[in-house]
Amino acid sequence: MFVTYPAIFYKNKDNEGYTVVFPDLEYGSTEGRNEIEAVQMAQDYIGSWVYEEYLENNDFPKSSKLDEITVEDDKFSDISNSFVKLIEVDLKEYVRNHNI
For the chain, which residues make up each domain, given as ranges?
A: 2-97
Is 81:71 a contact under the CB 8 Å cutoff? no
H helix intervals, the chain:
35-55, 91-97
- Classified by CATH at the fold level, domain 2-97 comes out as Double Stranded RNA Binding Domain (3.30.160)
Predicted structure pTM score = 0.93
β-strand partners of 73: none
Distance CA(76)–CA(45), nearest Å, equals 22
How does pLDDT run across 52-82, given as a tens digit for each residue?
999 999 999 999 999 999 999 999 999 999 9
What pLDDT was estimated at residue 98?
82
Mean per-residue pLDDT, 47-52:
96
